A and B are shown apart, each in its own frame.
Chain A
Amino acid sequence: MTIQQCIDEKKSGFLYGNRLILPFKGRFLKVVVEKDIITDFSPSSKGINIVEEDYYTNLYFLEYNFLRETLSEYGNIKIIVVEKDDNIFDVSKHKKIAVYKTDTHEATIEETEHDILFIE
C-alpha cells in the first residue's frame, strides 16, 4: 500500500512503547517528535532505527521509552517521507504527515498540508 492510499483510506498505524508501526513503506527524510528533529536514520543512529517488514515499517525511537506518554493530546509525530517509487530529489513528492495517538494503541495518520505547521 502506498503512503497516499494510507492517507486517503485513513489507515492507522500503531504505537507500542518506543515503536511506531506505519502501514506503508517509504524513504524517510525527517522525523520530529517533541523538540527532537531526527534526520539520521543510519544504522549507527541514536535517534531512530527503521526496520522494514513485508508491507509495513517499524520506527524504533531509541531515546524514548513510551511514545504514547511523550505525546500530548494534540501533539504528534511529524514525518517527511517519499513513496518508494517516487523520485526522492523531487521536493514536490515529499509528503508531510503527522501521526497522532488515540485512546488505544492505534495511531492516526494525516497529511499536514494545511493547518499543521511543519517546516521541511
Chain B
Amino acid sequence: MLLIRPFMRMNKDRIKSYHIIFFIFVVSNAGGALTPIGDPPLFLGFLKGVPFFWVVEQVWLIWIIAIALILAIFFMLDMNNKAGAKEEQQYSGKIEFKGLKNLGYLAIIIGSVFLDPAVMSWVPSLDPLPVGIREIIMFGVVFAAFKTADKSVLKANEFDFGPIKEVAYLFVGIFFTMIPALRLIADLAKENSDVFTSSLFYWASGALSSFLDNAPTYLNFMSAAMGKFGFDLNGGAAQTQLFLQNPDAIQYLTAISVGAVFFGAMTYIGNGPNFMVKSIAESAGVRVPTFIEYIIKYSLPILLPVYAIIWFFFFRG
C-alpha cells in the first residue's frame, strides 16, 4: 500500500484504472505470498508454529508462475496505452529523500512483528489484556511517527485517517458478520476433514478469502488439515512442526496458504489494503471500478484463469 503513491506518480501521464487493479493484484495480494510478513494469514500460521522460511520454500515456484502470468497480461494490456509516450520528460537527476527517519519507524514495526510469546519465549504475555507487547510498541511507533512527521510531507501525501478508518469500519462489519460463517466452516471442516483434498483446500480457502477476511479463513482450514492427521492447531508449535513432516500435510498447507493469499485480490473486501489503494487512487483523481465491475471486468476474467492454471499444475487431486 505504501508503494501506491510512487507507482501513480511514475505513471501519472498515462495512468488508467487497470494500473490500480493490477497493483492490487500483484503488490497488495499475490506478491505477499512468500513470507509471513507479506500477508496476515501467513503470519498467523507463523505464530502457530509454521517456520518463517517454510512458505517461501513451498511457494516460490507457484509465486513466480502466478506473478509472471499476471504481469504478462498486464504487459499486453499496457502495450496499447501510448498516453504520455510522446511527451518529453525533464528530470533533474537529483535524488532526494523526505521523511527518511520513517524508515527507522518502519524497521521497528517490522521487528516488533516477531515479539510474540509464541515465537520468542522471553516476551511476556499480557493476558488477559487484548493487546500484547507487540501491539503496544506498534501503537507507540505510530503515535511517534505521526507526531514527529514533517508537516510538509504530510501535506504532500495528503495524509488522512480516512482510508484506514474506512477499512476499519468495513472490517469490523466483516469480522462480526463472518463469525457464524466461520463457525460453520470450522464445524464442516472438522466433521468432513477426511474427504478434504488439496483441491478442496485450495478452492475453499480461496473462495472464502475472496469475500471474508483471509486470516481466520486460513486458520480454520489449517485446523481442518491438522485435524486430518490427528493434530490440534492450538496444541503448540511442536504439533504444527510434526504435522508439517508429512508430505500430504505440506501439500494441504501450501494449498491453503496460496488460496488464502492469492484470492484476497478477487474483490475489494478480500484484503484490507485493496480498499485503501482504491481510496488513495480515487482521492488522486483516478477513477477505479465499482465493486461489481472489479469482479466482472478484472478478477473473474484475469485472476480466475491464472488461479485455475495454478490449481491444475500444483493442487489438482
Interface residues of A (CB under 8 A from B): 30, 32, 34-37, 72-76, 78, 115-120
Contact = CB atoms under 8 A, between A and B. Distances in A.
Interface size class, chain B: 20 to 34
Given A117-B5, A117-B8, A117-B12, A74 B285 contact: no
A74 B282 contact: no
Q: DSSP majority for the A interface?
A: loop
A115 B285 contact: no
Contacts of B161: 72
6 shortest interchain CB distances as A-B pairs: A115-B156, A35-B282, A72-B160, A119-B285, A117-B284, A74-B159
Contacts of A116: 156, 158
B15 to A, nearest CB: 6
Contacts of A75: 158, 160, 162, 283
Nearest to B281: A119
A35 B287 CA distance: 9
Interface string B15-43: 10000000000000000000000000000
B285 A76 contact: no
Contacts of B8: 117, 119
Contacts of B285: 30, 32, 37, 78, 118-120
Given A117-B5, A117-B9, A119-B8, A32 B283 contact: yes
A119 B15 contact: yes
Interface string B144-176: 000000001011111111100000000000000
Interface of B: 5, 8-9, 12, 15, 152, 154-162, 279, 282-287
B278 to A, nearest CB: 8
B284 A119 contact: yes
A118 B157 contact: no
Contact of A72 (B12, B162, B284, B287): B162
Contacts of A34: 162, 283
Contact of B160 (A74, A115, A118): A74
B208 to A, nearest CB: 28
Contacts of A37: 282, 285, 287
Given A117-B9, A119-B12, A74 B157 contact: yes
Contacts of B279: 35
Nearest to A114: B156
6 contacts: A30-B285, A34-B283, A72-B162, A76-B158, A118-B284, A119-B12
A3 to B, nearest CB: 18
Contacts of A36: 282
Contacts of A119: 8, 12, 15, 284-286
